[in-house]
Amino acid sequence: MERLFGTDGIRGVANRDLTPELAFRVGRIAASLLKQKNRPALILIGRDTRLSGGMLEGALAGGITSTGVSVRLLGVIPTPGVAYLTRTLGAAAGVVISASHNPIEDNGLKIFDHDGMKLSDEMEAEIESCYFEYNLSHAGNPRPEGAAIGQVFHDGEAARLYLDHLRETCGSLTGMRLVVDCGHGAACALARELLEQLGAKVNLLHGEPDGGRINVQCGATDTARLQQEVRRCGADAGLAFDGDADRLIAVDEKGAVVDGDAIMSICAIDMVQRGALRKNTLVATVMSNGGLDLLAEEYGFRLLRAAVGDRYVLEEMLAGGYNLGGEQSGHIIFSDHTTTGDGLLTALQLLTITGSAGIPLSGLAGRLKRLPQVLYNQPVATQKGWEENLAIATSIQALRDKLGHHGRVLIRPSGTEPLIRIMLEAPFPEDELWEEARSLAGIIAHEQGK
């Protein structure tokens, strides 16, 4: 079956894979199906700073309004801001035009339902079915005329509601010295204002909203400059956001990276000690370091692992009634406050804990004792068929046997790029793990290039 949606919406190279025509049709289909379900006749659209964002925004809005559903354009705003505003303003759905951490030529469509949740697999399948059949007859194929045509409204003030919400989730940051890398993305619109309103002193990096430089040697995908600047300024912490600001990578006062696993460990321990970690359970993914299992045992909470992808983390959280989960990549979900990963919210929670603990960020992060782990991304001609390939399967099993009881070998195709991701973890020297990862990657590249 042909697919539009990957693990995190629809993505591709803008104007090649993700064309205005595709955006128009998806907008029209999604709006028609929502009208059929008697949802409110309003959809919100937000975007990051990518150069293709305006082009896709216009096409998407055209498709939606052609069905009689109106659109509120929120402009440049973080992805979690759209999720929050969708449920707060009572919209039928919210759409974010962003490819998150991907290169500048990529873009994507991420759709939230009226509750601010990512679309269900069933709804995605329904949209795909209509798209590939180009058939809206079951939805009435609406073509309203005159006053019944949907309208487009520009709303630059709705982001204030999102800022107010964020401020209510944390304590004062007075006196904190921060270096903040916005990655030329969606965080540029709000990060400095938010942190300074809470009392922090902010040194901003890559704070210009520039779609030609989004994620380029900056932000959560490249923290080298941030680490340098934190050390130079003697800051208490550094914060790095990705293109759509739904994830956070932090840097401690010594300039060391504090990734999603470390952030989750800090938040989980704090919540356990306050009696706030629901059912004493943290939800991570299979990619999170095995050191989290050891930390959970030490501090008396349970670690539950979900499939890779923040949507699967949230599914586990909702099913079990848990309120903290996330990914090593920095997507952290605090379900008491939000329905998706939120880099700004995560930063506020982390900084509030650091400020109240009286312990520097390096000390808090250092409680997580990691098993050596390497991540290797192998470009491939095709992702199809790797699981059934005998040579690949034999090599994986041989490597698992070699790494032993405490070792892990995880292989998965990327849902957003033509890559197969390899994760190795074991109590082995890191350079030996890298050698094994490269060797396995070479076999996968050869077999998938046939």
Catalytic positions, please?
Answer: 100
Q: Which residues contact 215 (CB under 8 A, 6 or more apart)?
A: 101, 102, 103, 104, 183, 184, 185, 221, 222, 242, 243
Q: Are 83 and 48 in contact (CB under 8 A)?
A: no
Distance of CA 223 to the CA centre of its chain: 17
β-pair partners for 42: 70
Q: Which residues contact 338 (CB under 8 A, 6 or more apart)?
A: 80, 83, 84, 116, 345
Four-residue CA torsion sign, 318, 319, 325, 328: negative
Q: What six digits make up the tokens of 194? A: 């938010």
Q: How far apart are CA 331 and CA 110, in angstroms?
A: 15
β-pair partners for 241: 248
Four-residue CA torsion sign, 295, 301, 305, 306: negative
Q: How far apart are CA 277 and CA 57, in angstroms?
A: 39
